Amino acid sequence: MSSTPPAKHVVVIGGGILGASTCMHLARGGAEVTLVTAGPLANGASGRSIAWLNSSGARSAEYHYLRMLAIDRYRTWSAHHPESRSYIRFDGALKWAGPGETFRDTFAFERSTGYHSLWVDRADVARLASDVNAEAVAEEGAIYNPGEGWVNMPDFIPALVAEATACGANIIENAGDVRVDVQGGAAVGVILGDGMRLAADQVVLATGGEVPAQLAALGVTVPDATPAAFVLFTDPIDFEVKTVLNTPRVAVRPTPDGRLVLDADWAEQSVIVEDDGSFTIPEGSVRGLLDEASKVLAGNPRLTAQKVGAGLKPIPGDGEPVVGPVPAIAGLHTVFTHSGATLGLILGELLAEEIITGNPSPVLKAFRLERFNTGAATETVSTGAWAPVSQS
């Protein structure tokens, strides 16, 4: 049985999907909770995400299971919030390999796990995804995942926060550079950008790509593979796109207002990080994404750029989530992960439950910060912190 006292006041730092979800689940669970964010809600990585809901490709069994739970939570949310069906969609996704590559092994792996995965020949693409240019698909064919979809975070995050506030949560936006207030080896609250201190019994750090640097400032190391990245938002198009596309040269997903969101690994690698920390996106990368997206869509529609969203794309060092207490600092918890869109609801739920009850979630055992160290492979809870474990 846990010896951790019930949460009294929890401060969540971060206004993206992970912070908003954790805040909402804490408030639903009866905790007194305050969410603080440096700027407006959804202005970080969540607001510039392709936001593809999936467990596509080869993953560890633990990670695949977590992602399947995550997708289930979105379906449940959608069923109970009919208004969300404009910005949470499950219209399927299509992916194919690049020249000299094959997705046959990927398809075999997905089928071996029971994942809903169909092999599609070029001739069948139009039947399953009429918005896709079949001629752009690899000669060998493609993988169609009927159960995958997307979420539009600028719509979803405010809905989570509205539910949190209805349950009593307090929201502080535009708080500036928010830091964890650590005294005597324990998190006792946060320090807002203006120097104001906000006391708390527990603190959650959910600041996306900033997590590694913020933990490093507290003497805690988390392996980090976070790159600079960008997504491109097009102007609205007179053509309905439903299918999420993950192609060798571009990823595409629609938005509720008829725009498209585009990204690609090659474009990400072109981002220039300036000396002042700002990001410059080469014009050639913008034009290239528009051209590549047009090629994979039926009718090759003319696409124009509306805006670019650039910043850090959170990715832990081994690619899998880091979730739960920070052992070196009592009362501090963190959630740092790629695929925050897919994982947002489930990680917020499980982390909130741990904080409120003091009981570790077996589902999160593989995703502790301690896996990067060597030590005993057991978990206990005591005064809000985990005992060292090894194992994302």
Contact between residue 327 and residue 386 where contact means Cβ atoms under 8 Å apart: yes
Judgement on whether residues 304 and 322 belong to the same structural domain of the protein: no
Judgement on whether residues 306 and 182 belong to the same structural domain of the protein: no
Residue 73 within a domain: no
Judgement on whether residues 234 and 307 belong to the same structural domain of the protein: yes
Cβ-Cβ contacts under 8 Å for 157 (sequence gap 6 or more) = 15, 16, 17, 20, 41, 42, 46
Residue 78 within a domain: no
Q: Within a 10 A sphere around the Cβ of 178, how many other Cβ atoms?
A: 22
Side-chain-facing half-sphere of 88: CA atoms under 13 Å: 23
Domain-ending residue, one of 312, 331, 365: 312
Residue 28 within a domain: yes
Residue 198 within a domain: yes
Q: How far apart (Å, rounded) are the C-alpha atoms in residues 22 and 350?
A: 8
Classify 82 in phi/psi space as left (phi over 0), alpha (psi -120 to 50) or beta.
alpha
Residue 55 within a domain: no
Q: What CATH number corresponds to the domain at position 265? A: 3.30.9.10
Judgement on whether residues 135 and 16 belong to the same structural domain of the protein: no
Domain-ending residue, one of 312, 333, 364: 312
Q: Which amino acid makes up residue 300?
A: N
Residue 109 within a domain: yes
pTM of structure: 0.93
Range of the domain at 333: 9-47+154-225+317-386
Judgement on whether residues 259 and 333 belong to the same structural domain of the protein: no
Alpha helices in the chain (DSSP H): 17-28, 61-80, 104-112, 122-128, 153-166, 211-216, 265-268, 283-296, 340-357
Contact between residue 58 and residue 386 where contact means Cβ atoms under 8 Å apart: no
pLDDT by residue for the chain (392 residues), tens digit each?
Answer: 344 456 689 999 999 999 999 999 999 999 999 999 999 999 999 999 999 999 999 999 999 999 999 999 999 999 999 999 999 999 999 999 999 999 999 999 999 999 999 999 999 999 999 999 999 999 999 999 999 999 999 999 999 999 999 999 999 999 999 999 999 999 999 999 999 999 999 999 999 999 999 999 999 999 999 999 999 999 999 999 999 999 999 999 999 999 999 999 999 999 999 999 999 999 999 999 999 999 999 999 999 999 999 999 999 999 999 999 999 999 999 999 999 999 999 999 999 999 999 999 999 999 999 999 844 334 433 333 322 222 22
Q: What CATH number corresponds to the domain at position 197? A: 3.50.50.60
Beta bridge partners of 145: 93
Residue 220 within a domain: yes
Contact between residue 172 and residue 193 where contact means Cβ atoms under 8 Å apart: no
Q: How far apart (Å, rounded) are the C-alpha atoms in residues 53 and 93?
A: 9
Q: How far apart (Å, rounded) are the C-alpha atoms in residues 42 and 257?
A: 17
Domain-ending residue, one of 281, 312, 343: 312
Total domain count, the chain: 2
Residue 1 within a domain: no
